[in-house]
Structure 1
Amino acid sequence: MRAVPFMTGRLAVGALATMLAFFGGLTPNYPLAGTAMAREVSGEAIRLDINEARKLAAIMLRDGQSGDARTLALGLLKRDPRDVDALLILAQSEFRLGNLDQAVRAGRRAFAAARTDAARYQAAHVTAAALNLDGAHTRSQIWLRRAAQHAPDDGSRQQVRRDFRSVAAANPLEFSLNFGLRPSSNVNNGSQHDTEQLGGLTRVLDGSEKALSGLEYSLDADLRYRLSESKRRRFWVGASALGLGYALSDEAKTIAPNARAQDFSYLKAGVNLGADLRDASGRGETLFQFSLAQVWSGGHRTTHSAEVSATRRHLISPTAQLQLRASAENRWNPKRPIEDSVILTLSGSWQKRLVSGAQLGLELGVSDSDSDSYRTASKAVFAGASLSLAKPVLGAATNLWARMQMRDFDLPFLVFDAREDTRISIGTTLFFRDLDYYGFAPTLDIGYSRSRSNIGAYDGRSFGVGVGVRSVF
């Protein structure tokens, strides 16, 4: 049986193409309890087999006779409660009649009973449509992911992606989750040297200060809830968390036998409040955000922070966008107040879509950290460039990037010269969009960084290859 059409605002599937001659009623040759649609023609009852009854129900649905289609589908289900075609017709009939709860139940039953991708796709899609119309946008998005997984062709898959974006735009709740695994030659940002020179003196570095190889695993979650939205204004609250954990290699355990992987763990969790203001022209917007966060390092609570930021985005041409961002952050450590700091940052970025279809991005910024500690009082300049290629590489969307940061510390390192660092990083990210599973696809990150410092403990390098998961929607 072909797909029966359903519509819900922006959700739609293809219409049924099968055409049958119209006739007024039937008395099936199998039990159809609850149906009262038989009539006599020339004193004889019209009788249909099961397939003809299914086709008739589909035609009734197509012609707007949703109530009759529902009645016939219920009759078919009396005979076989797992009749997938009847369940699909029932789900779409209930949807068109406005019985959204019943449509969801029928859609779920159809999905559970289906044995083909085409049937599962139709069941998941109509269930998502009913949930969306009922205001259950998040559950609708989950069912759209199921529909995408069982989409019978690329056109259906693209339709689901468009539907997902439409539902996401209507959903006041936004949620993103990224997970990654990254083997690295330097999980602790340690030194590549065994010793360092301080004012003509040589100091042997502790094992935990040296570069330690191992596996990094990360989890990045972001949740936002839209409080209100108009054509030009949007206000929201949110929460976010970033966690990094490590497993040390056998070599690292030999270099630093007293080091534990949890000594290098990192967790930052916070709450956010934001306002997005759009220009009347539609060419720009201004974003304000206030954040409170807490950091745990090595399993111990360390730093509290409060940050306020303002971001201005403006389309300077149909293919180019300029962004300016300013932020002020106050960090304080109740156990080590000397390390309290106020960080001011100003940055600008430019993005342009090239004639080839590739997208080029450039960034430049400065920051100033005011503190009484030689570890944090510093000034920095940073720059970056990225290029998203127009054509896939090895079947993956490819982004190339490079970053540089020069950071000069204000206070002497202990009693010696002030610390001066330069860090250069390059890498690429491959996104295998076509290998998606329920709307999630793998990523491959390859990166190399080199840190140069006049203090040997901070002079090091790192190479890592990581895999992750990202939503295709």
Structure 2
Amino acid sequence: MWPPEALRRLAAALVLGLAAAAPAPAETPRRIPVAEATAEQLGTAAVQAVASGRAPEAAALAAELLHRDPKNPLGHYIFARLSLAEGNTATARKAARRSFFTAQSPRQHYEAARVAGQAALAEKRFGAAAFWARQTIQYAPDDRARAVGVRDFRRLGALNPLAFNLKLGVRPSNNVNGGADDRTNVIDGYDTVGWLSDDAMALGGVVGTADASASLRVAQDATSQTRVGLSGYTRLVDFYGRPMVTPIYWGSGTPPAPVEIRNSDYSTASLAANLQHSRNFGSGFVVTGQLEAGRLWQGGLPAYDWQGLDLAGSKTLSPQLQLNFGAAYERRDWVDMARIDRRQELDFGLRGATAKGTWGVGLSASTLLSPSSQSRYWSVAGSASFQPKAQLGPLALNLAAGVSTTVYPDYMVLFMHPEGGRQDDAIFAELGMTVPKLGIAAFAPEVKLQALKVDSNVSRFSRSEVAVAVGWRSTF
């Protein structure tokens, strides 16, 4: 850009013809020196100069705006536009960023984000460009501009060889340990009644989760791409108060003292590496296969290593309807025992859009084959969701519900075997509430009200849970 001294001299020499200065449209616009013009008049003249291709004049007027107020967003914006037109992307990026963070209206945020994104894209800084695309979505002045921002963000995701995903959540709950509702343990078909320990009862607390993944594109052509990646997951529990449990006492010696139930006993963590290949077969038909291997820790100790194969696909049936399907196989090698489990799953779903909102339905079936009779099961589940377009004041809503049945055909309680095995029937419902206008870069705060009820013929596994999950979600 031009030296500041030259810009000041040019600005001092300018005389502006400002129609906005006339008190009535019929009057001839007054011509006034720059020094006598208001900031609004300077801004109007600078925008007109940019539109007319008079770059030196626009730069001089922008310099005058910034001389009067170094935080003037329009002055920084004009310099960003001019620098980008010259190919000076570094200056354009810095000026656009200053304009964005000093902006005083949604429109100023939007325009500054557009220029910042264009500068980042010119430098092939795809991550930064995606960030600014999200800002254009956040501050889009209308639905058309928002749709353009969403399209740009997705195109940038396809261009960037690196991909990251991070989900953080905090969930206060009245049952963080999956404990029973009733102290007694009743088995259908048997008169025997058991008594559950304190740690088998529902305990309230807070659950924190972190789910992160990163991948690198290593190959790509017109119809396919291959990525390698890492993923990690952590679940931590903090019980309310200091719940205690009394160890089992068989009636000899001094009874043991109660001990605290440790938060760490209910922690879970996993780490995995994967290789993923996606292929587009045309006509809206896309299939992705993934090989994965990792380890799971429970209570801070290694539980099992796993190797898995996932296959997922989607088929666009119409502009408003999409079919999703998937299949998965996983082998689990337990660390502290000679035991290998094999889990298999199939799932199907439909997603659609109507004038009133978007909806989805899904059906899945899974089974676990294991040498442990207590662990073998099969399960079927169904779910439905709906996100209405209409908002409740500032709130955008999302509704979901589902049911499932899980059967452990060989489950035993001591010498007792319930007829047909242990059967857990579950129902859940969820109401999500988001405030899009409070979002940052098209991520908005979200609160989910969650409820779960499980009925089992082994009452130890009958439980209920009410929770409030707090987090952030993308608004598109």
Q: Please indicate the TM-score interval, normalised by the length of the shorter structure.
A: 0.7 to 0.9
Q: Do residues 451 (structure 1) and 440 (structure 2) align?
A: no
Q: Distance in 1 between matches of 2:108 and 2:317?
A: 47
SS class of match (1:375)? coil
One of 116, 132, 136 as aligned partner of 1:143:
132
Q: Do residues 313 (structure 1) and 314 (structure 2) align?
A: yes
Aligned residues: 437
Runs of 5+ in structure 1 lacking a partner? 1-27, 41-45
8 Å Cα contact 1:397-1:431 kept in structure 2: yes
Alignment of 1:168-183 (within 5 A): 168-183=157-172
Q: Distance in 1 between matches of 2:370 and 2:292?
A: 21
Shift of residue 148, structure 1, vs aligned partner: 5.6
Q: Do residues 215 (structure 1) and 217 (structure 2) align?
A: no
Q: Distance in 2 between matches of 1:387 and 1:49?
A: 57
Q: Distance in 2 between matches of 1:236 and 1:364?
A: 27
Shift of residue 83, structure 1, vs aligned partner: 5.0
Q: Distance in 2 between matches of 1:114 and 1:393?
A: 29
Aligned to 1:104: 93
C-alpha distance 67-341 of structure 1, shift in aligned 2 (>3 A): farther
Shift of residue 137, structure 1, vs aligned partner: 1.8
SS class of match (1:89)? helix
Alignment of 1:64-75 (within 5 A): 64-66=53-55, 69-70=58-59, 73=62
Q: Distance in 2 between matches of 1:154 and 1:314?
A: 27
Shift of residue 401, structure 1, vs aligned partner: 1.5
Aligned to 1:464: 467
Map Cα deviations across residues 260-313 of structure 1 (whole Å, 9 max, x no partner): 222111222322221111122x23121111122222212222222111011232
Aligned to 1:273: 275
8 Å Cα contact 1:332-1:341 kept in structure 2: yes
Alignment of 1:198-237 (within 5 A): 201-237=192-228
8 Å Cα contact 1:266-1:298 kept in structure 2: yes
8 Å Cα contact 1:227-1:235 kept in structure 2: yes
C-alpha distance 192-170 of structure 1, shift in aligned 2 (>3 A): same
- Counterpart residue type for residue 196 of structure 2: L
Shift of residue 112, structure 1, vs aligned partner: 4.9
C-alpha distance 108-463 of structure 1, shift in aligned 2 (>3 A): closer
Alignment of 1:72-471 (within 5 A): 73=62, 84-114=73-103, 118-146=107-135, 160-196=149-185, 201-250=192-241, 252=243, 258-280=260-282, 282-338=283-339, 340-353=340-353, 357-365=357-365, 367-389=366-388, 391-393=390-392, 395-410=395-410, 412-413=412-413, 415-417=415-417, 419-438=421-440, 439-471=442-474
C-alpha distance 227-65 of structure 1, shift in aligned 2 (>3 A): farther
- Counterpart residue type for residue 198 of structure 2: G
Q: Distance in 1 between matches of 2:232 and 2:304?
A: 15
Map Cα deviations across residues 92-129 of structure 1 (whole Å, 9 max, x no partner): 11111111111112223334555555544433332222
Shift of residue 341, structure 1, vs aligned partner: 0.6
Q: Distance in 1 between matches of 2:42 and 2:353?
A: 55
Indicate the RMSD between aligned Cα atoms, in angstroms: 3.6
Q: Distance in 2 between matches of 1:179 and 1:210?
A: 27
8 Å Cα contact 2:356-2:390 kept in structure 1: no
8 Å Cα contact 2:374-2:412 kept in structure 1: no
Q: Distance in 2 between matches of 1:270 and 1:285?
A: 24
Shift of residue 136, structure 1, vs aligned partner: 1.0
Aligned to 1:49: 34
- Counterpart residue type for residue 425 of structure 1: I
C-alpha distance 407-90 of structure 1, shift in aligned 2 (>3 A): same
SS class of match (1:399)? strand
Runs of 5+ in structure 2 lacking a partner? 16-30, 247-257
SS class of match (2:203)? coil
C-alpha distance 156-324 of structure 1, shift in aligned 2 (>3 A): closer
8 Å Cα contact 1:286-1:312 kept in structure 2: yes
SS class of match (2:416)? coil
SS class of match (1:124)? helix
Aligned to 1:8: none
TM-score, structure 2 as length reference: 0.78
Map Cα deviations across residues 381-407 of structure 1 (whole Å, 9 max, x no partner): 333333444544563232231121222
Deviates more, 1:110-119 or 1:186-195: 110-119
C-alpha distance 239-426 of structure 1, shift in aligned 2 (>3 A): same
SS class of match (2:260)? coil
Shift of residue 82, structure 1, vs aligned partner: 5.0
Q: Distance in 2 between matches of 1:192 and 1:53?
A: 71
Q: Distance in 1 between matches of 2:49 and 2:307?
A: 61
Q: Percent identity?
A: 24
8 Å Cα contact 1:121-1:151 kept in structure 2: yes
Q: Distance in 1 between matches of 2:312 and 2:102?
A: 50
C-alpha distance 55-295 of structure 1, shift in aligned 2 (>3 A): same
